[in-house]
Amino acid sequence: MLTYLNVSAEYFLFIQELRELEEFKQIAFPHLRDLIRRSDLKITSEEQVFETVIEWMEANPSERKQHLSELLSLVRLPQLNMQYLVENVRQNSMIKESRECTDLVSEALFIMLSPLKGTPLPVGAAINDEGGGQYAAGSSLVSQVKLQENHLGTGGDPFRSVEAFDCRLNRWISICEMTQQRRHVGVVSALGKLFAIGGHDGMQHLASAEMFDPREGVGWRRVAPMRTCRRGIAAAALDGAIYAVGGLDDTTCFSTVERYDIESNTWTDVAPMNVRRGGVGVSALGKFLFAVGGNDGSSSLDSCERYDPVLDKWKLVAKMTNRRAGAGVCVLDGALYALGGFDDNSPLCTCERYDPHTDQWVQLANMTFSRGGVGVASMGGLVYAIGGHDGQRYLNTVEAYDPVTNSWTPVTDIKDCRAGAGVAWADCSVDDLLRPFQPDSGYAPSGGNQCI
C-alpha cells in the first residue's frame, strides 16, 4: 500500500483531481485524514469531501471501516445540502452500520434545524470562494397561515397571510398574502405552484380557489372555484391533478370529492368517499389518495380509506389507533403519517404511521405539545408539525420528527400563534419568495357560482 502519492502537496489541495489518480484509492489513512482536515482544501462544495471519503472507504471496506467515523467527523456535515445529507449521507449503508456516524449525522441535522447561536462547525475543509453560489437547497416549506375556528369558544378572524420556512437559515419569512381571508382551507403544492382552496372567510363558506407561482412575480391569482362551498377540506395532488376532499358547512359534513385539472382550469366530481369527513387529512401515496380520520357530524373518526383514480373508487383500509379530526397528514419515505388532531374530548399529542404494504398503523413518539388542527408537511427526511391548539391556547411552536431516531426536535417558531394552518412543501427558490410581487389583476375565471 502506498503511504504517499508522488505528486506535490499543492496538487493534493485540488481534491477532485486527486480522486482521478489511480493511486488515490491506495493512499494510507493518516495521509487522507491530514488532507481533508486542511483548511485550504480546494473544493466547490462540502459534498466533494464526503464523496472522497466514501470512495476511499469503498475500495477496501472491511479493513477501513474502523476509520469511517473519524473521517466523517472531518466533513462539515452542516454545510451540506439538507436533502443531500438525508438522502445520500444518512442512507449510506456503511454509515447506517456505525452508531458513531449516525450520531454525527443527527447532530448535523440538529444544527441545521436549531436557532443559529454561533455554534462552531466541525473542523474540515473550507469551501473555495471561487466555487460560487449556495449549495443548500432552495426548497421551502410553505405554510398558508390562518386561524382555526376555536371549538372552545374563543375564536379569531381568518388571515390572508402566508409564511415560508427557509431551512438554510432556519427562519420563517412572510411572503405575499392571498387575495382573501381563509380558515379551514385546503392547501397543496403542484407543478411548482401553491393552491389555496375553499375555507371560510369569517362570514361565509367559500368555493373559491387561488394559485401562487413564485416564478411569475404576480402574487396570488384566482382560479376556477369548486362546485361546493366548504371549509375543513383537505387537498392533495396525484398524477398532475388536484383533489379537494370532504369538508363541511354549517349543516353537513361532506363525503364529496372534486378533481381540479390545472391545464384546463376546471373542476369535476369524482366518486365520493364511503364516509362523510369534515376536518379530514389527505395525502397521496404511490398510486392512491388516502383520506384519514375527520368527523362525520357526530364523532371523530378512526377510519381511513384510499382512492384509486383508475377505478374511480374508494376502499376502506386499516383504522388508526386513535380517533382524529383536524389531524396533520403527510407522506415520508413511502409511509403515511397522522399527527395530533382532536378526538371527541381533547387535542392529541399522539402520532402514528401507516405502512401501505402491511395495511397497519403503528404508534410513534408523542409530540412535545398536544396539537389539534396542526399543520404538517415533510421535507428533508423529517416531518414538521406546525402550530395547532393545545386545548387552552393557539400555538406558534414548531417541531420536527426524525423517523430514524423516533424523536422530536424543536424548530424555529412561526411568527404568530395559529391552528388549522394549511401546509405544503414547495419546490421553489427562497430568493423568488423574497422578491416583491405585483397584486392580483382581479381576473376571475368563468364557470363560477354564487359562492366566493
What's the pLDDT score for residue 108? 77
- 3-class SS at 371? coil
What's the pLDDT score for residue 16? 65
What's the pLDDT score for residue 345? 84
- 3-class SS at 302? coil
Determine how many CB atoms are found less than 10 A away from the CB of residue 164. Answer: 21
What's the pLDDT score for residue 129? 29
Domains of the chain by residue range: 9-126, 140-434
What's the pLDDT score for residue 401? 96
d(CA 75, CA 192): 33
Strand partners, 401: 383, 408
Do 261 and 238 touch, CB atoms closer than 8 A?
Answer: no
What's the pLDDT score for residue 39? 63
Using only the alpha carbons of the chain, give its radius of gyration.
24
3-state SS string for 124-172: CCCCCHHHCCCCCCCCEEEEECCCCCCCCCCCCCCECCEEEEECCCCEE
CA–CA distances in Å: residue 231 to residues 146, 186, 226: 13, 8, 12
Q: Which residues contact 121 (CB under 8 A, 6 or more apart)?
A: 76, 78, 79, 111
For domain 9-126, give its CATH number from 3.40.47.10, 3.40.50.11540, 1.25.40.420, 1.20.58.2240: 1.25.40.420
d(CA 423, CA 282): 12
Which CATH superfamily, name and number, covers 140-434?
A: Kelch-type beta propeller (2.120.10.80)
CA–CA distances in Å: residue 269 to residues 244, 266, 272, 304: 10, 10, 8, 20
d(CA 188, CA 65): 44
Backbone angles phi, psi at 58, to 5 degrees: -70, -15
d(CA 138, CA 211): 20
What's the pLDDT score for residue 124? 29
| Nearest CA among 426, 432, 446, 435 for reference residue 196 | 426
| Nearest CA among 222, 182, 188 for reference residue 206 | 182
DSSP 207-223: EEEEEE-TTTSS-EEEE
Does the global pTM surpass 0.75? no
What's the pLDDT score for residue 128? 30
Backbone angles phi, psi at 256, to 5 degrees: -70, 155
Q: Is 138 exposed, middle or buried (0-12, 13-18, 19+ CB in 10 A)?
A: middle
What's the pLDDT score for residue 132? 25
pLDDT one digit per residue (tens) for the chain, 452 residues: 333 333 333 334 456 667 777 777 888 898 888 888 776 666 778 888 899 899 999 999 999 999 999 999 889 888 888 788 888 998 999 999 998 898 788 777 766 654 333 333 333 222 232 322 212 222 345 544 322 222 222 345 678 888 998 877 888 988 889 999 988 899 999 988 999 999 988 889 999 999 999 888 788 999 999 999 999 999 999 999 999 999 998 889 999 999 999 999 999 999 999 999 999 999 999 999 999 999 998 899 999 999 999 999 999 999 999 999 999 999 999 999 999 999 988 899 999 999 999 999 999 999 999 999 999 999 888 999 999 998 888 899 999 999 999 999 999 999 888 887 789 988 777 777 877 776 654 444 433 333 33
Strand partners, 143: 163, 423
Q: Where are the alpha helices (H) located in 179-290, listed in sequence order?
A: none
Q: Is 81 exposed, middle or buried (0-12, 13-18, 19+ CB in 10 A)?
A: buried
What's the pLDDT score for residue 15? 61
What's the pLDDT score for residue 120? 33
Q: Look up residue 2 and give its three cell numbers.
A: 502506498
Do 319 and 330 touch, CB atoms closer than 8 A?
Answer: no
The reply to whether 9-126 and 140-434 are identical in fold is no
Determine how many CB atoms are found less than 10 A away from the CB of residue 405. Answer: 13
d(CA 452, CA 444): 10
324 residue type, one letter: R
